[in-house]
Homo-oligomer: A and B are copies of this chain.
Amino acid sequence: MTPEFDRALDAYAELIIKVGLNLRAGQRLIIRAPLESAPLVRRVAAHAYDGGARLVEALWNDPQMALVRFTHAPDDSFTEHSTWPLQAGLEYAENGHAYLSIGGVDPDLLKDVDPARLATVQRTEGRLYAPLSRLISGDAVNWCVVGYATPGWAARVFPDSSPDEQQKRLWDAIFKTVRLDAPDPVAAWQAHVDDLAARTAYLNDKQYHALHFRGPGTDLTVGLPDNHRWLGGAAPTGNGITNIANVPTEEVFTAPHRNRVDGVVTASMPLSYGGNLVENFSLTFEGGRVVALRAEKGEALLRSLVETDEGSARLGEVALVPASSPISKLGILFYNTLYDENAASHVALGRAYRNCIANCEELDDDAFAGRGGNTSNTHVDFMIGSPQMDVDGLMEDGTAEALMRAGEWV
């Protein structure tokens, strides 16, 4: 580690605490993190304590342990689970404390694992963690998702570089995506968050009845519920703190109507899901539901994702990102949703964010569905935007207004 990298990693940790989480004195913080990210976790903890945090704990995960399990455990054991990792998250989220998640594991680590075993674990964990997912994705507390350039991930992104070079290049890219190359990163984030707020205000005022996406392999109409809300950038949370839940973030997003999605959509990037890649795939929707799918690679895994539960065959998010976004301009395929979703417009299968439809925070699942919102134990984004994508906003009477042309805001 050079002193220069050391300073950059420390600035990144400070940004996570001050801009992403906006952590307050007196709060506790739990950090879900892969073992390899320990150098960042320790720096984040130091900045948290320096700002008056009372307790900072890491909930470590080791993807290699998952691989050991998938390759050695008895075939009928993959629904087994404990409850303490869930309790760890709930102990923080139910008591107004902050939650940080660090990603960046090798997106292809589990590529040789039996897809049936993977699907069983995904389904089991999706059900198990549903209470925590609902609290976090519902902004009950200040939370944030960030990335760490692990060697395995860097090797996937820059396969032709040397291992040292791979990690250095990925770190350089990550630091750019989070505006650490700006003279004053905190000021740069404030200006960026203001831009996103102006965009969501415009779209919220329009209240389109649907969006219409047209591009190579895509002709998709995504209905929007009455009183849907576009969000993006900073958001107020249930514990009274305004956070930025993804660092980086370039998207504005809302909830699709669970029963009004029709047509065909073709992904514009690979999807990393459950330690595997799904590539060159498309989905066909009727009345909100996936009725057909195909993928050149990972079709069985994609099918198991769609079949996770009743809601995983419907959309829970639609997000608009210009093809010229700073992340898109890096020209890097990250194989990681946090970055790739901020380089292209995208949709997500599964759970909708409750705060994307007005006054839904307290509704039960059935009432939320009645408002058009989708419920599921999963939420998986995939990218559909490209420089060939046109997007129209449709009024209830069918009138179309151009929103994006050739991937750019009109």
Interface residues of A (CB under 8 A from B): 28, 30, 35, 38, 41-42, 45-46, 49-50, 52-58, 60, 62, 64-65, 68-69, 71-74, 77, 80-85, 87-88, 91-92
Most chain B Cβ neighbours within 10 Å, of A41, A42, A56, A72:
A72
Given contacts A38-B64, A60-B62, A80-B28, whether A69 and B45 have CB atoms under 8 Å apart is: yes
Given contacts A38-B64, A41-B65, A62-B38, whether A55 and B84 have CB atoms under 8 Å apart is: no
Q: Which residues of B contact A50 (CB under 8 A)?
A: 72
In the complex the two chains form, what is the Cα distance from A49 to B395 in whole Å? 58
Please, which residue of chain B has its CB at the minimum distance from the CB of A30?
Answer: B82
Q: Which residues of B contact A42 (CB under 8 A)?
A: 62, 64-65, 68
A54 contacts which of B77, B83, B92 (Cβ < 8 Å)?
Answer: B77
Q: How far in angstroms is the closest Cβ of chain B from A75? A: 11
Q: Which residues of B contact A60 (CB under 8 A)?
A: 35, 58, 60, 62
A82 contacts which of B28, B74, B80, B81 (Cβ < 8 Å)?
Answer: B28
Q: Contact between B56 and A62 (Cβ–Cβ < 8 Å)?
A: no
Q: Which residues of B contact A45 (CB under 8 A)?
A: 65, 68-69, 72
Please, which residue of chain B has its CB at the minimum distance from the CB of A82?
Answer: B91
Given contacts A69-B45, A72-B46, whether A91 and B81 have CB atoms under 8 Å apart is: no
Q: Which 9 A-B pairs have the closest CB atoms?
A: A49-B72, A84-B88, A60-B60, A55-B80, A49-B73, A54-B77, A45-B68, A54-B80, A46-B72
